[in-house]
Amino acid sequence: MPQLHWEDFTPGRIFEHGPRRLPRDEMIAFAAEFDPQPMHLDEAAAQQSMLGGLAASGWYACCILMRMIVDAFVGNSASMGAPGVDEVRWLLPIRPDDELTLRATVLETRASKSRIDMGFVRFEFELFNASGERVMILITSLMLARRERAAS
Amino acid sequence: MPQLHWEDFTPGRIFEHGPRRLPRDEMIAFAAEFDPQPMHLDEAAAQQSMLGGLAASGWYACCILMRMIVDAFVGNSASMGAPGVDEVRWLLPIRPDDELTLRATVLETRASKSRIDMGFVRFEFELFNASGERVMILITSLMLARRERAAS
């Protein structure tokens, strides 16, 4: 049974996870399947791009972030998914074999008006590279079951 | 050489692509790697969830959308990537073996103030299922090289 319900996500609460390494071959295989642009596939082409060298697809960073939040707390929560994503900013290139660390901060919470068994938790998710630089932020709300309702 | 530059993306221009089928095994394999939550992995658990049956991870939908826009026009453009994502809404569950169609609409464009060789193109991307229902929207700006600067 999941341990974390909507009531547990109080504003200011922080979850951390990682580091997680992004192997070069996995980063390139992802780009080949989902985002086959030269700056994500080819070192020489990437050197000529704004990224200044081979860098992960931003979507790969999103997917790694999702997996890290599942491992950090979502997998142990009464998660009901999410209605979308409010904002993503890719701040710095993510390089092959870099190691990323996640920080998830609860910004605010609110009960659902239409469903008494759930509530929304708005998060800021941040990814940092091995040098401690912030490489990405993602802001959105997750839906979580409420404890009282789940127990009733 | 890419055919499409920033100047080619005039407001109201539409690009379409698909249909593209999402095989059940690929949908589940993606979830197992990046978004291992019961509603994306297990039919019985998914039946009990808000999604009412097995459904794709929203991130899988984002990645498929990215690949479809590369195949539709980004792969034939002077793409310089994107600074982030402005908004994603997952409107309806995407089911195993569904077939998705993409419509990309240019909302507005603007030249970069800091880099005279590029400009921004703001898009609304929509995905439709085989029944013609809109299952997802994504709004964001892409960066593209300008033709005059590229030629000089």
Nearest residue, CB atoms, B88 vs list A34, A75, A85: A85
Residue A11: how many CB atoms within 10 A of its CB?
11
Cβ contacts of B44 within 8 Å, gap of 6 or more: none
- Contacts of residue B66 in chain A, CB cutoff 8 Å? 34-35, 57, 59
- Paired strand residues for B136: B90, B127
Chain A residues near residue B86 by CB distance under 8 angstroms: 87
Enter the CATH code of domain A6-22+56-151: 3.10.129.10
CA dihedral (B4, B8, B11, B14) positive or negative? negative
Q: Which residue has the tokens 């103030």?
A: B113
Pull the structure tokens for residue A63. Answer: 């997917």
pLDDT tens, position by position, for chain A (152 residues)? 779 999 999 999 999 999 999 999 999 999 999 999 999 999 999 999 989 999 999 999 999 999 999 999 999 999 999 999 999 999 999 999 999 999 999 999 999 999 999 999 999 999 999 999 999 999 999 999 999 765 54
The model scores a pTM over 0.80? yes
Cβ-based contacts of A58 with chain B (< 8 Å): 81-82, 84-85
Would you say B53 and B44 are in contact if contact means Cβ atoms under 8 Å apart?
Answer: no
- Taking the CA of residue B25 and the nearest CA in chain A, the distance in Å comes to 15
Q: Given an 8 Å threshold on Cβ–Cβ distance, is A64 in contact with B34? A: yes
Domain residue extents for chain B: 6-22+56-151
Who among B34, B39, B74 is closest to A37 (CB)? B74
Please say if the pLDDT value at position B143 is more than 70.
Answer: yes
Q: Which amino acid is at B19?
A: P
Per DSSP, the residues of A80-122 read: ---SEESEEEE-SPPPTT-EEEEEEEEEEEEE-SS-TTEEEEE
Query: Which residues of chain A have a Cβ shorter than 8 Å from any chain B Cβ?
Result: 33-37, 39, 49-51, 57-59, 62-64, 66-67, 70, 74-75, 79-90, 143
Given the structure tokens 């030629």, which residue do they identify? B151
Nearest chain B residue to A49, by CA: B80
Burial class (CB in 10 A: 0-12, 13-18, 19+), B83: middle
